[in-house]
Amino acid sequence: DNVLTLNADPPLVNGLSWTFYQKSCPQLESIVKKRIDFYLKQDITQAAGLLRLHFHDCFVQGCDGSVLLDGSASGPSEQGASPNLSLRKKAFEIINDIKSRVDKACSVVVSCADVTALAAKESVRAAGGPQYRVPLGRRDSLKFATQN
């Protein structure tokens, strides 16, 4: 088994922590890993879709989960923005499934942005890429990036 592990942790951004959910949701990473393994055993190409979804979430105004927001009368959805039209619908479904399972298992709210970041990390691992740690504690946006 040829596994590359990145040993150097990136510097932490204010508000993020390596242990953010350690006490409030210790099973978070395990839930994400199990669901990613489940989905990628069915279709390994979903790894690319999940990584791309995470990239598109982070690109505009930081990793805030806003790409997951549905449109409303108050504003258009980021999903409908032209750069995001090619994002895989299945990637959104996978994130929604994982988030639902995390919400049932944990006593605290785990941000969609953190779930998306962990799903991307586990997708890279499951596809044979490097393993790396992800600091957690991101806050979800309540506004679409298309409103800014």
The residues that are catalytic are 56
Q: Which residue has the tokens 């479904």?
A: 93
Q: Rounded distance, CA 119 to CA 5, Å?
A: 17
* Cβ atoms of 120 and 40 closer than 8 Å: no
Beta bridge partners of 139: none
Q: Is 140 annotated as a binding residue?
A: no
Residue 1 in marked binding region: no
66 annotated among ligand-binding-site residues: yes
58 closest CA partner among 32, 21, 80, 84: 84
Is 17 annotated to bind ligand?
Answer: no
- Residue 105's Cβ-count burial label (10 Å; 0-12, 13-18, 19+) is middle
Q: Residue 69 and residue 47: Cα distance in Å, rounded?
A: 21
* Residue 97 is labelled as binding a ligand: no
Residue 9 labelled as part of a binding site = no
- Known binding site for Ca(2+): residues? 57, 60, 62, 64, 66, 78
- Known binding site: residues? 57, 60, 62, 64, 66, 78
